[in-house]
A = this chain, B = another copy of it.
Amino acid sequence: MIKNEIKLLKKPRLKKPVLIEGLPGFGLVGRLAAEHLVKQLKAVKFAEFYSPGFPPQVKILPDGTVSMHKAEFYYSKQKKKDLIILLGDDQAATIEWQYSVCGDIIEFARKNNTSMIITLGGYGVRGIPKKPRVFGAATDKSLIKTFSKHGALFGKVGGDIIGAAGLLIGIGALRGIPGVCLMGETHGSYVDPKAASSVLKVLTSYLGLKISFKELDEKAKEIEKMIKRIEEVQKTQQATIPKPPSHEPLTYIR
């Protein structure tokens, strides 16, 4: 196995689908958001993506079966544009496999007539945002206009969008598919369902979807409690809120 492989489970006919990416990254924001969307829309898995760039190992599932590290494509039929949602266990492990994996995802998207790419991620900031803002970056100015209307902030942050969230819209644009990356403000040291909610609100506003955020809200409350407990322990230890690891800059995005 020396190439990426796509295992097609179904062959849905999709209307100009929008590809939504949710691979693991900073604060797990994109992955949480995309996973929530899959559940809410009861999206249907139609393809699996395997890669020699993913960890060379299998996961043991609770029932004793195993699962290779992979990414999965789900689809959801919608009135205007259908959706393809990409969930994954990992980002590719090396630079060249990042390109290879993202390139082949875009190729698959093209074959399915994908009209736009929306990648989801976290944007690392100091402190834990009360109400995480959503920063955007796009391949086209017209997308900036459109997504600004739905609450994303453009031109406010700099730096690089690292990994699939960046590379997919980069390669997408090279192949003629416009794209936007939505990044929820996140502390980055914790899994962040709140930032995922923020990102999803912009996304569903744009897509004209109404979904429940209950589950994400509950997860967010659990995380908040956990953080509070940690803070209290630390106060008694005269310590401060844990900062993100010093070797990862605060503007780090995945």
Q: Do residues B103 and A144 form an inter-chain contact, with CB atoms below 8 A? A: no
Q: Do residues B57 and A167 form an inter-chain contact, with CB atoms below 8 A? A: yes
Q: How many residues of A contact B (CB 8 A)?
A: 57
Instruction: Give chain B residues whose Cβ lies under 8 Å from the Cβ of A65.
Output: 137-141, 144
Instruction: Give chain B residues whose Cβ lies under 8 Å from the Cβ of A161.
Output: 57-58, 60, 66
Q: Do residues B95 and A139 form an inter-chain contact, with CB atoms below 8 A? A: no
Q: Does A93 contact B (CB under 8 A)?
A: yes
Q: Does A63 contact B (CB under 8 A)?
A: yes
Instruction: Give chain B residues whose Cβ lies under 8 Å from the Cβ of A169.
Output: 58, 66
Q: In the bound complex, how far is the Cα of B65 from the Cα of A169, in angstroms?
A: 11
Instruction: Give chain B residues whose Cβ lies under 8 Å from the Cβ of A236.
Output: none
Q: Does A136 contact B (CB under 8 A)?
A: yes
Q: Do residues B103 and A56 form an inter-chain contact, with CB atoms below 8 A? A: no
Q: Do residues B158 and A68 form an inter-chain contact, with CB atoms below 8 A? A: no
Query: Which of A99, A100, A141 has its CB near the most chain B CB atoms (within 10 A)?
Result: A99
Instruction: Give chain B residues whose Cβ lies under 8 Å from the Cβ of A5.
Output: 174
- In the complex, the count of this chain's copies comes to 4
Closest to A56 in B: B98
Instruction: Give A184 Cβ to nearest chain B Cβ, in Å.
Output: 15
Instruction: Give A29 Cβ to nearest chain B Cβ, in Å.
Output: 17
Instruction: Give chain B residues whose Cβ lies under 8 Å from the Cβ of A58.
Output: 137, 160-161, 166-167, 169-170
Stretch of A15-23, A47-55, A227-235 lying at the B interface = A47-55
Residues 154 to 188 of chain A near chain B (Cβ within 8 Å): 154-155, 157-163, 166-167, 169-171, 173-174, 181
Given contacts A58-B160, A63-B154, A66-B161, 17 further A-B contacts (CB under 8 A): A1-B100, A2-B96, A2-B100, A53-B96, A55-B95, A55-B160, A56-B92, A56-B99, A57-B161, A57-B163, A60-B158, A60-B161, A63-B144, A66-B139, A66-B181, A68-B174, A94-B96
Chain A residues with a Cβ under 8 A of chain B: 1-2, 5, 7, 50, 52-60, 62-68, 92-100, 102-103, 106, 136-141, 144, 154-155, 157-163, 166-167, 169-171, 173-174, 181
